């Protein structure tokens, strides 16, 4: 890779650097640990501590490991595991070993810059184009908090740039190497199996057209060896060749739209409504991605002369469609995140027509629209992170031997407090056998003070305001624990949290 940094390039990179870190600080990204990010923080923390199973401070109170309070952490092969990428967690844990998990969000910038440099040095893409796409597409809202997206995006930029260079230079060896490397991306995101498969098919078609039979055999071997390793490792580690994320999404009792694939695709690519709320689709966030397909349709869709741009176009069209059709659900609000890596071939399409596009008024207007949509999303993130920050401050006052949450949705609001605070997610207060077993363990562990949490009944969100068979606010709940030698204070609410403090009274 050779780089020539002009003064304008240096200024652009400096602005991007300051902008991104400033945005993370403004949004309070270090307080964003809930749901996905929280599970990833547990995963990284566990690797840093050298444990084979996920961190669980309440392990002694839950020896069967069925009550872990963090969503997306479950028992598999007799160990607690996260459904997210083990490769991502391992690399972050080792690369940033001396950093507390809470500060690792600021390392996202390193991989974004590396991605930009790969596109520049190998793919010959102008800095301004890749930075423009990173800051005006779904990429931006997906790289703010702790996520595998930044490091995976860097690897995708690296591999795809090599593949593009191989196509342009007709370098068969480099083509085979890039396809081999593309399969390894599956260890970071399962949908990249589709990405690598498309690279393999397109590469095979190219070699077939050049009548290179021996090279096709080598390409096939280079594709199948890492793919076989991927399947074998998953089967050994998780008991299924597709891995734990596949098991969680497709074999467990979770929401996924298997019977609504077309509607699912529409929500992911464009937009839509569902019980979870409004969906920000891929082309709603970045409408300027559609414009080059229309503006340069004659050259893009012409099959008279095949060149590199047609490969980028094929990837850009097929990848989102195949991912959208196979996605487990339509996403949570930011549905476009499933097809995020389609931005990489689009960067090359924009680069090909950049001299015309940067002078095009329609293109500029669509860029402004994308910026406005992203501002709306960032505003939503700001309010979400603010709520999490305020909630974390509330939990700081609840010092106890054990926290008991009514479900994983309320326990997720306590963030990385759960890394040290013994806590469980327990819903079976009406199940006498389970309750007696829990109380017996609490007594044996000499737990004197506990807190039981649920969402406040004032919360308007139906997703949070779930009717319980035994409400935390009801006198029956207080009387039930009183018979188990735990005397509970009156039910109290702080903002959207309802709780009772209970103390052991033999």
CA 373 to each of CA 182, 376, 431, 474: distance values in angstroms, whole numbers, following the listed order: 32, 5, 48, 44
Say how many C-beta atoms besides its own lie within 10 A of residue 179's C-beta. Answer: 27
* Residue spans per domain, the chain: 7-31+85-383, 386-504
**pLDDT beyond 90 at 264:** no
- Tokens in use for 445? 């562990």
CB-CB neighbours of 305 under 10 Å: 7
Chain segment 190-245, per-residue pLDDT in tens? 999 999 999 999 999 999 988 899 999 999 999 999 999 999 999 999 999 999 98
Once rounded to an integer, what is the mean pLDDT over residues 262-285?
A: 84
State the pLDDT confidence band at 257, using cuts at 50, 70 and 90. Answer: very low
Identify the H or E element spanning 81: strand 79-82
C-beta separation of 318 from 324 below 8 A: no
Q: How far apart are CA 47 and CA 34, in angstroms?
A: 19
pLDDT at 386 over 70: yes
pTM of the model: 0.94
Residue with tokens 């999404």: 249
Q: What is the pLDDT of residue 252?
A: 58
Q: Of 503, 352, 351, 477, whose CA–CA distance to 406 is shortest?
A: 477
Closest CA to 481 of 438, 423, 418: 438
The yes-or-no verdict on residue 251 having pLDDT over 80 is: no
- Are 209 and 163 in contact by the 8 Å Cβ rule? The answer is no
CA atoms of 138 and 140, how far apart (whole Å): 6
**Is the separation of the CB atoms in 238 and 248 below 8 Å?**
no
Return the pLDDT at 505. 86
- Of the chain, the percentage scoring pLDDT greater than 90 comes to 70
Pairing mode, strands 486-488 and 423-425: unpaired
Q: How far apart are CA 428 and CA 20, in angstroms?
A: 44
Task: Name the average pLDDT for the chain.
Answer: 91
Q: What pLDDT is recorded for position 305?
A: 59
Backbone angles phi, psi at 471, to 5 degrees: -70, 140
Encode pLDDT of 104-149 as tens digits: 999 999 999 999 999 999 999 999 999 999 999 999 999 999 999 9
């Amino acid at each position: 890779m050779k780089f020539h940094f002009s003064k304008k390039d240096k200024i652009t990179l400096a602005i991007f650097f300051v902008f991104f870190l400033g945005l993370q600080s403004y949004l309070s990204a270090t307080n964003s640990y809930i749901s996905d990010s929280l599970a990833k923080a547990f995963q990284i923390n566990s690797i840093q501590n050298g444990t084979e199973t996920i961190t669980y401070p309440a392990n002694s109170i839950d020896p069967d490991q069925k009550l872990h309070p963090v969503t997306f952490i479950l028992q598999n092969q007799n160990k607690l595991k996260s459904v997210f990428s083990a490769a991502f967690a391992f690399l972050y844990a080792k690369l940033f070993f001396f950093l507390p998990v809470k500060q690792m969000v600021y390392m996202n910038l390193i991989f974004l810059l590396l991605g930009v440099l790969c596109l520049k040095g190998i793919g010959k893409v102008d800095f301004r184009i890749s930075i423009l796409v990173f800051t005006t597409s779904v990429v931006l809202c997906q790289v703010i908090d702790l996520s595998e997206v930044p490091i995976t995006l860097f690897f995708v930029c690296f591999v795809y740039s090599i593949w593009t260079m191989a196509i342009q230079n007709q370098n068969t060896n480099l083509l085979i190497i890039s396809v081999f490397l593309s399969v390894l991306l599956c260890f970071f995101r399962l949908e990249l199996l589709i990405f690598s498969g498309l690279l393999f098919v397109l590469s095979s078609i190219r070699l077939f057209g050049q009548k290179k039979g021996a090279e096709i055999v080598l390409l096939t071997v280079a594709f199948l060896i890492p793919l076989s390793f991927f399947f074998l490792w998953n089967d050994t580690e998780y008991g299924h060749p597709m891995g734990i994320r596949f098991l969680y999404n497709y074999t467990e009792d979770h929401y996924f739209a298997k019977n609504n694939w077309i509607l699912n695709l529409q929500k992911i690519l464009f937009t839509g409504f569902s019980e979870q709320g409004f969906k920000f689709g891929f082309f709603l966030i970045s409408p300027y991605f559609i414009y080059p397909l229309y503006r340069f349709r004659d050259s893009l869709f012409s099959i008279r002369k095949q060149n590199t741009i047609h490969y980028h176009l094929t990837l850009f069209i097929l990848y989102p469609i195949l991912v959208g059709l196979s996605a487990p659900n339509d996403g949570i609000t930011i549905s476009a995140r499933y097809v995020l890596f389609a931005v990489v071939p689009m960067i090359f399409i924009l680069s090909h027509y950049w001299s015309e596009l940067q002078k095009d008024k329609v293109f500029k207007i669509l860029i402004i629209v994308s910026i406005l949509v992203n501002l709306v999303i960032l505003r939503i993130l700001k309010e979400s992170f603010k709520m999490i920050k305020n909630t974390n401050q509330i939990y700081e006052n609840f010092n106890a031997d054990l926290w008991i949450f009514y479900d994983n949705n309320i326990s997720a609001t306590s963030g990385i407090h759960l890394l040290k605070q013994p806590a469980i997610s327990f819903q079976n207060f009406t199940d006498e056998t389970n309750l007696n077993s829990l109380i017996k363990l609490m007594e044996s562990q000499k737990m004197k003070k506990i807190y039981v949490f649920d969402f406040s009944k004032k919360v308007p969100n139906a997703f949070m305001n779930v009717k319980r068979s035994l409400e935390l606010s009801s006198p029956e709940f207080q009387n039930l624990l009183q018979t188990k030698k735990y005397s509970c204070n009156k039910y109290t609410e702080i903002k959207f949290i309802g709780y009772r403090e209970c103390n052991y009274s033999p």
